[in-house]
Amino acid sequence: LAPGFDTTRAKALADAAIDALRAPIDAGDARVFIEGSIGIAPFSALRDDRIEVMRKADVALYQAKAAGRACASVYDGALDAALRRRGTLAADLRAALETGDGIAVHYQPIYDAATHRIVAVEALARWHHPTFGDIPPSEFIPVAEASPLITMLGAHVLETACRAAAAWPIEVVAVNVSPVQLRDRDFAHTVAEILARTGLAPHRLEIEITESAWLDPRGTEPETLVELHALGVHIALDDFGTGFSSLGRLSNAVFDRIKIDQSFVRHIIERSDDVAIVRAVVDLATAKGLKTTAEGVETAEAATLLALVGCDWLQGYWFSRPLPYAGMAQLLHEHVQSELIDA
């Protein structure tokens, strides 16, 4: 407790304490280094409740640890609210997964760039919360990834998508897989069981992983990816261009496909730089025997240009937004009808 300190002085005091802790300690033959993180909660002795002050200090401590440890942070009400929302969402997501209420899988069709035939769909998780309404995956996936919930959610999406795709006239169903799922040593086994149960041939499943899932901290491919590849499941590198992988590193990797990130695709008509980047990615991918999909195709002009550049498959709002199961089934039905008429 530092009576009369404002947050600036409290921060200076905490920094000094952290510095003092850094001094090495000789313990027999060993030198021991310790470090400390500090959370600071300003309070009024007259107004504030003791337990609440400790809780706020804990929130600030969490923030200090999240900022890389060995530092001090002052309590931040906005962060507190965000943490509370995450806590609520995690509990509600668990309940939703247990009952199945509010969780759905939507499908976005993927088109052959040359023929504009539907060749694949990407499965995308959706959550309708009973009080907050629709929660975007960019918010609930990280919540799920911070707990075992991602395993439940991931298995649910996989099974639902494989079952739907087994009956649909498409080549491939693409399913996003989190790095947390890949770290599970049983994951390839889980996938094999799902394929057997749903009757989907392994080569019709394409799992999408991001660069952060691809290489572990030692720079090697996770064993699970190699096992999945051996099962015959296809593997796509998602959001390519947003991380640090070079195309050179892809040559001996397990990938079958590269998905070119939306950020290079969205403005391709206005930006000649983006055309050059996409062309380079497509040329190198082709040389390595990999297929390409461009994501985020929002205009007819972009679709035409991307086909010219040589992308194999196209996906984006210009073709279709992600659709619920029934909408996707209907679209495929109409699509097959129109192909029959063309033929």
Residues in contact with Ca ion by CB under 5 A are 176, 208, 238-239, 295
Q: Which token pair is 14?
A: 């905490």
Q: Which does 160 bind (CB under 5 to 8 A by kind): Ca ion, ligand C2E, none?
A: none
Q: What minimum distance in Å lies between the beta carbon of 131 and ligand C2E?
A: 20
Give the type of residue at 70. A
Q: Which residue, 229 or 257, has its beta carbon nearer to Ca ion?
A: 257
Cα separation, 253 vs 234, in Å, equals 12
Q: Does 322 participate in binding ligand C2E (rule CB under 6 A)?
A: yes
Q: Does 317 participate in binding ligand C2E (rule CB under 6 A)?
A: yes
Q: Which does 39 bind (CB under 5 to 8 A by kind): Ca ion, ligand C2E, none?
A: none
Q: Which does 132 bind (CB under 5 to 8 A by kind): ligand C2E, Ca ion, none?
A: none
Q: What are phi and psi of 277, to 5 degrees?
A: -65, -50
Q: Which residue, 38 or 207, has its beta carbon nearer to ligand C2E?
A: 207
How many degrees, rounded to 5, is the angle at CA 156 between CA 145 and CA 262? Answer: 60
Q: Which stretch binds ligand C2E (CB under 6 A): 19-27, 70-78, 109-117, 136-144?
A: 136-144
Q: What minimum distance in Å lies between the beta carbon of 210 and Ca ion?
A: 8
Cα separation, 309 vs 312, in Å, equals 9
Q: What minimum distance in Å lies between the beta carbon of 154 and ligand C2E?
A: 6
Q: Is 58 helix (H, G, I), strand (E, B) or coil?
A: helix
For 269, residues 6+ apart whose C-beta sits below 8 A from its C-beta are 299, 301, 302, 305
Alpha-carbon torsion, ordered 236, 237, 240, 244, to 10 deg:
-160
Cα separation, 294 vs 85, in Å, equals 34
Distances (CA, A) of 252 to 20, 25, 230, 247, 249: 49, 47, 14, 10, 7
Cα separation, 62 vs 75, in Å, equals 10
Q: Does 141 participate in binding ligand C2E (rule CB under 6 A)?
A: yes
Residues between 196 and 235 with contacts to ligand C2E, criterion CB under 6 A? 208
Q: Does 93 participate in binding ligand C2E (rule CB under 6 A)?
A: no
Q: Which stretch binds ligand C2E (CB under 6 A): 113-121, 137-145, 184-192, 271-279?
A: 137-145
Cα separation, 109 vs 332, in Å, equals 9
Q: Which residue, 208 or 221, has its beta carbon nearer to ligand C2E?
A: 208
Q: Which residue, 40 or 233, has its beta carbon nearer to ligand C2E?
A: 233
Cα separation, 240 vs 294, in Å, equals 10
Cα separation, 4 vs 78, in Å, equals 24
How many degrees, rounded to 5, is the angle at CA 134 between CA 130 and CA 139? Answer: 110
Q: Which residue, 125 or 275, has its beta carbon nearer to ligand C2E?
A: 125
Q: Which residue, 24 or 142, has its beta carbon nearer to ligand C2E?
A: 142
Give how many residues touch ligand C2E by CB under 6 A. Answer: 24
Q: What minimum distance in Å lies between the beta carbon of 199 and ligand C2E?
A: 21
- Out of 37, 73, 108, 198, the residue judged to bind ligand C2E by CB under 6 A: 108
Q: Which residue, 55 or 94, has its beta carbon nearer to ligand C2E?
A: 94
Q: What minimum distance in Å lies between the beta carbon of 186 and ligand C2E?
A: 17
For 74, residues 6+ apart whose C-beta sits below 8 A from its C-beta are 7, 10, 11, 40, 41, 42, 60
User: Do residues 233 and 206 lie in contact, with contact meaning Cβ atoms separated by under 8 Å?
Assistant: yes
Q: Does 176 participate in binding ligand C2E (rule CB under 6 A)?
A: yes
Q: What minimum distance in Å lies between the beta carbon of 274 and ligand C2E?
A: 15
Chain residues that interact with ligand C2E, rule: CB under 6 A = 108, 124-125, 136-138, 141, 154, 157, 176-178, 208, 238-239, 262, 295-298, 315-317, 322
